[in-house]
Amino acid sequence: MCPPRGLLLVTILVLLSHLHLLTWARSLPTASPSPGIFQCLNHSQNLLRAVSDALQKARQTLELYSCTSEEIDHEDITKDKTSTVEACLPLELTMNESCLASREVSLITNGSCLASGKASFMTVLCLSSIYEDLKMYQMEFKAMNAKLLMDPKRQIFLDQNMLTAIDELLQALNFNSVTVPQKSSLEEPDFYKTKIKLCILLHAFRIRAVTIDRMMSYLNSS
């Protein structure tokens, strides 16, 4: 039994409409992530690997120093100084995201993470906060390494791959920032406390490196 002509006509129109939409969709230009963001994603992945390797080495070398995540007193050196976790929330999770996402600001950076030179207010805030985090950890690690180099036991030093990974991501971000020089201590270094502090910092920095890597992945895919 043949279907009614009216139903057949509707079916044909629906099929033609779907075909037109498919053809139109295929003709649209495909959005591709910024090459700068992709480069920074690579740097963040390298950083996460380097921090993980440095932490694993420290846990093995300092096994008598309570260097596991269950044993240490967790500390965030960026607390009350930066707000990376809040600044890097995806726009879908922030309040008034339509207002924030619509604001565009010129970047105060010569870095390559955002090659277009413009980004949403929240993206700039996130990347600048990441930059400040990295600068703080870099200064802490360098000061700590200077103390470890004075240790007669020469037990452990900071992994150069991690320091290089921090520097490469900083260069890619390259925000204008005022570096506050650390005051050198005149006291004799307590190597035991320095090694405990190293474990604490590495655990905290790995958590922050995970946050940075996830944010770069989000920016690369959005």
Q: How far apart are CA 15 and CA 26, in angstroms?
A: 17
**218 touches 122 (CB < 8 A):** no
Q: How many CA atoms lie within 13 A of 72 on its CB side?
A: 24
Q: List the chain residues with pLDDT less than 70.
A: 1-36, 90-112, 114-119, 175-188, 222
pTM of the prediction? 0.72
Domain definitions of the chain by residue range? 33-177+188-221
Does residue 109 sit in helix, strand or coil?
strand
**Separation CA 69–CA 51 (nearest Å):** 14
Q: For 93-141, how does the pLDDT look when each residue is reduced to its tens digit (9 = 90+)?
A: 555 544 343 334 344 455 667 655 556 777 888 888 999 999 999 999 9
Helix (H) or strand (E) holding 119, with range, is: strand 118-120
**Which CATH number among 3.40.50.300, 1.20.1250.10, 3.40.630.10, 1.10.240.10 corresponds to the domain 33-177+188-221?**
1.20.1250.10
